[in-house]
Amino acid sequence: MAHVNVFDTTLRDGEQSAGVNLNRLEKVEIAKQLERLGVDIMEAGFPASSQADFDAVKEIADTVRGCSVTGLARANKRDIDIAWEALKGGAEPRLHIFIATSPIHMTHKLKKSPDEVVEKAVEMVAYAKEKFPHVQFSAEDALRSDQEFLVHIIEKVIDAGASVINLPDTVGFTTPDEIGRLFRYVRENVPNIDQAILSTHNHDDLGMAVSNSLAAIENGAGQIEGTINGIGERAGNAALEEIAVALEIRKDRFEYETGLVLKEIKRTSDLVSRLTGMQVPGNKAVVGRNAFAHESGIHQDGMLKESTTYEIITPEMVGIDSNRMVLGKHSGRHAFKQKSEELGFFLNEERLKEAFDSFKALTGKKKEVTDDDLFAILTDTQTENQDQAKYELKAFQVQYGSINRPTATILLTRPDGEEVEKANTGEGSVEAIYNTLDDLIEADVHLQDYQLSSIGKGRDALAEVHVQLTVDGVKASGRGSAQDVLEASAHAFLNAVNRTLYRRTQEAYQKVQV
C-alpha cells in the first residue's frame, strides 16, 4: 500500500481557533504526544509571529526527534531567517512557506500582479533552500486559483527547490470531485511534478474537509494536512484521526496507509481537548464519547449477538481500553508511576511527587480515581510553570441561599507574597467569586466566556471549568478542576490571569536580554 505522509498542524493552524491560547509547556506536551502518535511532519507554529511562538517552536524542534518539525513563514527573508533560528536544531529542519495565488487574494490582499507573485515565490523558495534541507511551498487559496497559473508557479518553485507542494482549500469552498480534478490536472500538467510531493490541506467550512482530503489522496496527494479533533480557524480543519481510521477501515477502497499509531488517537484527542479547552462533541466521529455507545434496543441486541453488526470501529483500535487498572487510596507510588506512563506522562521525580500528592488528596474524597481524573491531575502538573510568581487561592467561602444575595470571601496570595482578603457579592455564586477575585487582582479583568463540564461520571466526578478573559486588554484562557464547581471556577479564573502574568514576565525579560 502507498504511504501517505501525515502533516499535523494542531500547534499552528489548530491554535488559531478562537479562544485557544497555549503556553510553551502545553505546546511541548502536545508535541511529545504527537510524536508518540507517529506524525511524519509537525508544524510547531509561526516563529516570526511572536517571541513566545519562536521560543515554543525552538524548544519543540530541539526536543522532538521522531519526526520533522516545521514552522510557517511568509514569502519574505525576515520570516525565513527567524524560522531557521528556531528550527535549525531539529532532527530534520523543514520550512513551510506560503503566498496567495487566487485572483481575489493577489488583487485585494497582496496587491501584486501574477508575475510579481511568481517572482517573489521563486526568490523566497530559493533563499529558503539555502538553509533548509526541506522546503514546502503552499499556494494559499489554491482551490480558487486559476489552474493554468497554478501549474506555472508550481513548476517554477519546484525548480527553485521546493520538495512539497501544498494546494490548500483555505476557505473550505471546494467539493470532493472538484479537488480530485485539480490534483489530477496538476499531476498531469506540471512537467517536473515527479520531483515533489503533492499535499492537501482542507478547511471544514462546508463540512467536507475529511471527504476532500480523501479525494485528494485518491488523485495524487502524497501528504495530508490536518489537526487533532479538527480544530482550527473558523469551522476548523480536516480531522486527522478520522482520515487515518477511514484509511484503515476502508482498505478495500483506499490503497493507502499512514504511519499513525491508531492506539494513541484517543489519548492525543483528550490531551488536545483539555489543553485547548475545546470540548469534543459527544457525536464526534472516532473520538466522541458516544462513538461506541448503542442506545437503540435493536442495536444493543445486534451487538450482543455479533459486535460487527453495528460497530465498524472497535474502541481498542483508537486506544479506549476496557480493562483499565483502577487506582484507589491504597495504591502506592510505583503503581501510580506505572499508570502515569501508560497515560503518556513521563514526569521527573519532583513533578511525580507533586502529582502523587494530588492523587492521594483526591482518593480521600473519591472511592475510585478514574483514568480521566488521573489525566486531569497529570496534565495540570506537567504543564504548570512551577517557578512562576503567581496569584494563589489560599481559602474561600461562599454564602448562598434562595432568599440571600450570594457573598464570596476569598483569601489570596499575590505574586509578591502578600496575603489579601476581600468579600463581594453577585447575582450567583460564581459571579460573587469572580467579583471578589476582580477586586483582589491588580489588573483590569473581564470575563468573556465560561464553560463547565464534568470529568468522568457520577455524583463525585471532578468539575472542570474553562474560561476566557481579557486581562488589561489581552486575551487569556484558563482552566481549573476540583470536586467543587465553585473551587474549579476560582482556579480557572486565576489560571488565566497567571498565564498572562507569566507571558508579560517573559516578554520583559527578553527585552532586557536584547
Task: Give the tens place of pLDDT for each residue, 204-222.
Answer: 999 999 999 999 999 999 9
**pLDDT at 297 exceeding the cut of 60:** no
Residues 135/170, Cβ–Cβ less than 8 Å: no
**pLDDT at 325 exceeding the cut of 50:** yes
Summarize the confidence of residues 486-514 as an average pLDDT: 77
Structure letter (DSSP) for residue 250: T
Residues 37 and 122 in one domain: yes
pTM of the model: 0.89
**pLDDT at 323 exceeding the cut of 80:** no
Q: Which residue has the higher pLDDT, 228 or 18?
A: 228
Summarize the confidence of residues 93-114 as an average pLDDT: 97
Q: pLDDT class for 294, splitting at 50, 70, 90?
A: very low
User: Does 288 fall in a domain?
Assistant: no
Other CB atoms within 10 A of residue 179 CB: 27
Q: What is the pLDDT of residue 179?
A: 98
Residues 345 and 371 in one domain: yes
Q: What is the pLDDT of residue 512?
A: 44
CATH of the domain at 104: 3.20.20.70
Q: What is the distance between the alpha carbons of residues 107 and 202, in angstroms, rounded to a whole number?
A: 23
Residues 134/68, Cβ–Cβ less than 8 Å: yes
User: Does 291 fall in a domain?
Assistant: no
Q: What is the pLDDT of residue 304?
A: 44
Q: Which residue has the higher pLDDT, 202 or 321?
A: 202
Q: What is the pLDDT of residue 513?
A: 45
User: Does 284 fall in a domain?
Assistant: no
Q: What is the pLDDT of residue 508?
A: 53
**pLDDT at 326 exceeding the cut of 60:** yes
Q: pLDDT class for 503, splitting at 50, 70, 90?
A: confident
User: Does 287 fall in a domain?
Assistant: no
Alpha-carbon torsion angle 116, 119, 120, 123, nearest 10: -170
pLDDT > 70 in the chain, percent:
93
Summarize the confidence of residues 388-415 as an average pLDDT: 93
Split into its structural domains, the chain has a count of: 3
Give the angle subtended at the CA of 375 by the CAs of 234 and 386, to the nearest 5°: 90
Residues 79 and 175 in one domain: yes
Residues 251 and 375 in one domain: no
371 is in an annotated binding site: no
Write down which residue in 227, 242, 276 finishes a domain: 276
Q: What is the pLDDT of residue 309?
A: 67
148-207 pLDDT, tens digit per residue, is 999 999 999 999 999 999 999 999 999 999 999 999 999 999 999 999 999 999 999 999
Q: pLDDT class for 324, splitting at 50, 70, 90?
A: low
Summarize the confidence of residues 302-312 as an average pLDDT: 58
Q: pLDDT class for 54, splitting at 50, 70, 90?
A: very high
User: Does 285 fall in a domain?
Assistant: no
Write down which residue in 383, 406, 432 finishes a domain: 383
Q: What is the pLDDT of residue 335?
A: 87
CATH of the domain at 488: 3.30.160.270
Q: What is the distance between the alpha carbons of residues 133 and 423, in angstroms, rounded to a whole number?
A: 60
Residues 232 and 327 in one domain: no
Q: What is the pLDDT of residue 356?
A: 93
Q: Is the dihedral of CA 235, 164, 185, 124 positive or negative?
A: positive
Give the start-end residues of each E strand in 220-374: 223-226, 256-257
Residue (of 177, 298, 286, 283) closest to 226 by Cα position: 286
Residues 357 and 427 in one domain: no
**pLDDT at 307 exceeding the cut of 80:** no
Q: pLDDT class for 481, splitting at 50, 70, 90?
A: very high
Give the start-end residues of each E strand in 21-127: 41-45, 68-74, 94-100
**pLDDT at 306 exceeding the cut of 80:** no
Residues 251 and 374 in one domain: no
Q: What is the distance between the alpha carbons of residues 378 and 27, in angstroms, rounded to a whole number?
A: 15
Write down which residue in 331, 357, 383 finishes a domain: 383
201 is in an annotated binding site: yes
Element (H, E) at 304: helix 297-305
237 is in an annotated binding site: yes
Residues 265 and 193 in one domain: yes
334 is in an annotated binding site: no
User: Does 290 fall in a domain?
Assistant: no
Residues 396 and 357 in one domain: no
Residues 220 and 246 in one domain: yes
Residues 263 and 307 in one domain: no
Domain housing 425: 392-512
Q: What is the distance between the alpha carbons of residues 7 and 70, in angstroms, rounded to a whole number?
A: 9
426-454 pLDDT, tens digit per residue, is 999 999 999 999 999 999 999 999 999 99
What grid cell was written down for 174?
Answer: 471546494
Q: What is the pLDDT of residue 129?
A: 98
Residues 154 and 104 in one domain: yes
Q: What is the pLDDT of residue 140?
A: 97
